[in-house]
Amino acid sequence: MWGSWRRHLFLRRTGGVEVTRGLIGHVLKVAELRNVEIQVMPLVQEQHAGLQGPIRLLETTATKWSAYNEGQEMGQLISDPKVVSVLQARHAWMRSQALTMQDSVSLLQRMREDL
């Protein structure tokens, strides 16, 4: 889940209007894939589970779960089941607080049109 910081990237227009329009277009194209679901956190959501940063959950083919956190100068692979379980719960909470897939796609389309 990386939507909260990515949406700010769209709003900041990093790289200019054309780059931002292309980035939103790319995300919309990826959203058409059947194995991808895009959800955007509303900006007016004052409190949400993603405020502490993005959550990356990884599942192996053997159904073993891990998590990965990344900062500017380091990354950390988390395999402790208790910590992974907490992150899975936060991820589920964040998904319940975010816009639906349909509403997220609609918002991104409007954002692209407004550029």
* Calpha distance 78→100 (Å, rounded): 28
Return the domain boundaries, the chain: 1-43+100-115, 49-97
* Calpha distance 1→21 (Å, rounded): 21
Write out pLDDT tens, residues 45-56: 677 777 777 889
Nearest to 90 by CA among 52, 38, 33: 52
* Calpha distance 73→75 (Å, rounded): 7
Q: pTM of the predicted model, to two decimals?
A: 0.76
Write out pLDDT tens, residues 14-55: 888 999 999 999 999 999 999 999 998 887 767 777 777 788
Instruction: Enter the tokens of residue 90.
Output: 């936060």
